[in-house]
Amino acid sequence: MALRTLSSLGSLAGKRVLVRCDLNVPLKDGVITDDGRIRASLPTLNALLDQGARVVVMSHLGRPDGAPEAKYSLEPAAIRLGELLGKPVAFATDTVGESATATVSTLADGQIAVLENLRFNPGETSKDEAERGAFAAQLAELGDVLVSDGFGVVHRKQASVYDLAKLVPSAAGLLIETELDVLDRLTENPERPYTVVLGGSKVSDKLGVISHLLPRVDTILVGGGMVFTFLAAQGYKVGASLLEVDQLDTVRGYISDAEARGVKIILPTDIVMASKFGADAEHVVAPADALEDTAFGATGMGLDIGPETGKAFAEQIKASKTVFWNGPAGVFEIPAFAEGTRAIAQALTEVDGLSVVGGGDSAAAVRILGFADDQFGHISTGGGASLEFLEGKRLPGLEVLGW
Is 160 known to sit in a ligand binding site?
no
CA distances from 45 to 88, 98, 110, 149 (A): 13, 24, 10, 10
| Number of other CB atoms surrounding residue 374 within 10 Å | 8
| Residue 148 scores a pLDDT above 70 | yes
Give percent of the chain above pLDDT 70: 100
The C-alpha angle 50, 52, 57, rounded to 5 degrees, equals 85
Question: Mean of the pLDDT values across residues 232-252?
Answer: 96
Q: Which of 289, 291, 362 is nearest to 324 (CA)?
A: 362
Amino acid (1-letter code) at residue 372: A
Question: Which tens digits make up the pLDDT trace of 172-202?
Answer: 999 999 999 999 999 888 999 999 999 998 8
Q: Which of 266, 270, 267, 274 is nearest to 335 (CA)?
A: 274
Cα separation of 103 and 95, whole Å?
11
* Domain 6-178 homologous superfamily, CATH: Phosphoglycerate kinase, N-terminal domain (3.40.50.1260)
- Domains in the chain: boundaries: 6-178, 190-391
Strand ordering across the sheet containing 89-91: 89-91, 112-114, 54-58, 16-20, 145-148, 170-172
N residues, the chain: 403
Cα separation of 118 and 121, whole Å?
6
The gap between the terminal CA atoms of the chain, to the nearest Å, is 6
Is 201 known to sit in a ligand binding site?
no
* CATH class of this structure's domain 190-391: alpha beta
Is 121 known to sit in a ligand binding site?
no
Question: Which tens digits make up the pLDDT trace of 42-82?
Answer: 999 999 999 999 999 999 999 999 999 999 999 999 999 99
Question: Which tens digits make up the pLDDT trace of 285-321?
Answer: 999 999 999 999 999 999 999 999 999 999 999 999 9
Question: Mean of the pLDDT values across residues 344-371?
Answer: 93
Give per-residue burial for 180-207: e unless 16+ CB within 10 Å, then b. bebbebbeeebeebbbbbbbbbebebbe
Q: How many CA atoms lie within 13 A of 57 on its CB side?
A: 31
Q: Which residues pair with 170 in a beta bridge?
A: 146
Is 361 known to sit in a ligand binding site?
yes
pLDDT for the residue 1 = 56
The torsion region of residue 319 among left (phi > 0), alpha (psi -120 to 50) and beta comes to alpha
pLDDT for the residue 356 = 96
**Using 50, 70 and 90 to split pLDDT, how confident is the model at 360?**
confident
Residue 167's SS3 state is coil
Is 63 known to sit in a ligand binding site?
yes
Residues carrying an active site annotation: 37, 202, 360, 384
DSSP classification of residue 152:
G
Query: Residue 307 phi/psi, 5° resolution?
Result: -65, -35
Is 216 known to sit in a ligand binding site?
no
Is 387 known to sit in a ligand binding site?
no
β strands within 149-251, DSSP E: 170-172, 194-198, 219-222
Is 24 known to sit in a ligand binding site?
yes
Amino acid (1-letter code) at residue 182: V
Do residues 111 and 135 touch, judged by C-beta distance below 8 A?
no
pTM score > 0.85 for this model? yes
pLDDT for the residue 164 = 98
pLDDT for the residue 197 = 97
| Four-point Cα dihedral 385, 387, 391, 396, nearest 10 | -10
Is 39 known to sit in a ligand binding site?
no
Question: Mean of the pLDDT values across residues 332-358?
Answer: 97
Question: Which tens digits make up the pLDDT trace of 109-147?
Answer: 999 999 999 999 999 999 999 999 999 999 999 999 999
Question: Mean of the pLDDT values across residues 365-378?
Answer: 94
- Give DSSP secondary structure letters for 282-339: -EEEEETT-TTSSTTGGG-EEEEE-HHHHHHHHHHHHT-SEEEEES-SS-TTSGGG-H
Is 302 known to sit in a ligand binding site?
yes
Cα separation of 403 and 395, whole Å?
9
